[in-house]
Amino acid sequence: MIWNEKIECATRDEMRSIQSKRLNDTVQRIYHAIPYYRKKMQEAGLTPHDIKSVDDLKKLPFTTKADLRDNYPFGLFTVPMSEIVRLHASSGTTGKPTVVGYTRKDIQMWSEVVTRSLCMAGVHHHDIVQIAYGYGLFTGGLGIHYGTENLGASVIPISGGNTTKQIQLMEDFGSSVICCTPSYALNIAEVMKEQGVNIKNLKLRVGIFGAEPWTEAMRKEIEDKLGIKAIDIYGLSEIVGPGVSCECEHQCGMHINEDHFLPEIIDPETLEPVAPGEMGELVFTTITKEGMPLIRYRTRDLTRLIEEKCACGRTLVRMVKCKGRSDDMLIIRGVNVFPSQIESVLLQMSEVEPHYLLIIEREGTLDTVTLMVEVQEQFFSDEVRKLQELRMKITRQLESTLGISVNVKLVEPKTIERTAGKAQRVIDKRLLI
């Protein structure tokens, strides 16, 4: 089912004209409402009249997380606090959190894009949707919640954690949809196995997973272990939260709700737009938000866009699975390494579990990488020689994929800490020195 066919299947010309009008309105509004933006535009020699269509977007200055921090907490709001009905914040690992304010209309828009996303994922109003994203300042729980209610499906607002209870409710309430981070989905699958739960007795059929990067190999693992279709959903608090884009049942890129969020891909070094279809950093301009519109916000997420119409009938531009973040990219002895590359290698090996931790240290001037990876129960109790062979196999495979040597440590199942939210897979001790 397509929730808003007129928009989701609009022609490129229709979409461009909607976007251009909304972009112009947004620029007018922020120029007059926020001295910070006005100053930035004046410095670039721009007035709102210079921004007539989406083609003019590239003239505008970028916004970064640092701009949000400089204006902490409410400096980029374009409306008085009396019109803000909700605040969310992303837990910055360093410094102050990033705060976002929503007006009533923003919450309606957010619900609409999440409802569209659920329909893309194949969810119907007769589904029972277990929301195991965290509720609170994190946008995952409440964002999906409002969109699910708007669709008319039944919500189980369980939030993250308490895995035994999650499984009990799936069995007793007959949840047909689970929403959580992909790493938590694996965690649930693991506990189910331990408890001897037969997935055939569950009604689960769809999982809507996001909030962290995950690979195709991880998708396969989750789909097999839970017996469901695993759909990728993307978003970030600064732009709205989950629902910025989502995959449809064809699982071939996430449809961006581009009548609200205008995407661009830039080269993170030169800051120039890349050629159509090329990989780069995703940048968004919100064109309908009232509370805190953002102009050319640099997400740091790496992806590329697909413009062709999808087999589902939607014409909304698609973004491929995120490769990671430009700031996730590790430079180890001069070589660029993404944690997703390591994940792909590990998931090809049936002997190991998809739970790993990468520790990077500096000894003198040399970077060293240690990978802790869990071995499956039946292999761990095996002979030392076999474990040694397995360790060598992983080491060789990683070396040929990454081009650097990695010190592989095989650990017992459950050694690596499980989380109910975003998984932490890298500890870079070089940053701590």
User: Is the Cβ of residue 117 or residue 368 nearer to ligand DLL in the bound state?
Assistant: 117
Whose tokens are 């050694």? That residue is 415
Out of 27, 60, 132, 211, name the contact with ligand DLL by CB under 6 A.
Answer: 211
Map residues 71-110 to x or -, x wherever contact with ligand DLL holds by CB under 6 A.
Answer: -------------------x--------------------
CA nearest 211: which of 301, 148, 124? Answer: 301
User: Site map for ligand DLL, 308-347, x if CB under 6 A?
Assistant: --------------x--x----------------------
- List C-alpha distances in Å: 214 to 25, 92, 188, 219, 401: 36, 21, 16, 7, 18
Radius of gyration for the chain, computed over Cα atoms and rounded to the nearest angstrom: 22
Among 175, 183, 299, 368, binds ligand DLL (CB under 6 A): 299
Residue from the set 235, 253, 263, 280 that interacts with ligand DLL by CB under 6 A: 235
Contacts of 295 (CB under 8 A, 6+ apart): 26, 27, 30, 37, 60, 61, 62, 63, 285
Q: Please, which residue, 140 or 293, has the CB nearer to ligand DLL? A: 140
Contact call for residue 236 and ligand DLL (CB under 6 A): yes
CA neighbor of 398 nearest in space, from 332, 313, 322? 332
Residue 281 interacts with ligand DLL (CB under 6 A): yes or no? no
Q: Strand 366-375 and strand 352-363: pairing?
A: antiparallel
Q: Which range in 15-23, 79-87, 133-141, 189-197 contacts ligand DLL by CB under 6 A? A: 133-141
Question: Cβ atoms within 10 A of the Cβ of 194, count?
Answer: 12
Is residue 212 part of the contact set for ligand DLL (CB under 6 A)?
Answer: yes
Nearest distance, CB of residue 134 and ligand DLL, angstroms: 9
Q: How far apart are CA 132 and CA 140, in angstroms?
A: 9
Stretch binding ligand DLL (CB under 6 A), from 48-56, 111-119, 236-244, 286-294: 236-244
The correct pick among 147, 210, 253, 354 for binding ligand DLL (CB under 6 A) is: 210
Is residue 233 within the footprint of ligand DLL (CB under 6 A)?
yes
Tokens of 95: 């410094």
Choice between 112 and 367, CB closer to ligand DLL: 112
Q: Which is nearer to ligand DLL, 27 or 144 (CB)?
A: 144
Q: Decide whether 242 or 291 has the Cβ nearer to ligand DLL.
A: 242
Q: Which residue is nearest to ligand DLL (CB)?
A: 210
**Residue closer to ligand DLL, measured from CB, 90 or 111:** 90
User: Are 265 and 283 within 8 A, CB to CB?
Assistant: yes
Q: Which is nearer to ligand DLL, 176 or 210 (CB)?
A: 210
Q: Which of 101, 147, 207, 242 binds ligand DLL (CB under 6 A)?
A: 242
Q: How far is CA 100 from CA 72, 202, 349, in A?
A: 10, 38, 42
Residues in 368-427 that interact with ligand DLL by CB under 6 A: none
Minimum Å distance from CB 352 to ligand DLL?
22
> Contact with ligand DLL (CB under 6 A): which of 127, 264, 301, 374?
301
Cα–Cα nearest to 227, from 181, 188, 169, 172 = 188
Say whether residue 133 binds ligand DLL (CB under 6 A). yes
CB of 238 to ligand DLL, least distance (A): 7
Name the site residues for ligand DLL (rule: CB under 6 A).
90, 133, 138-140, 210-213, 232-237, 241-242, 299, 301, 322, 325
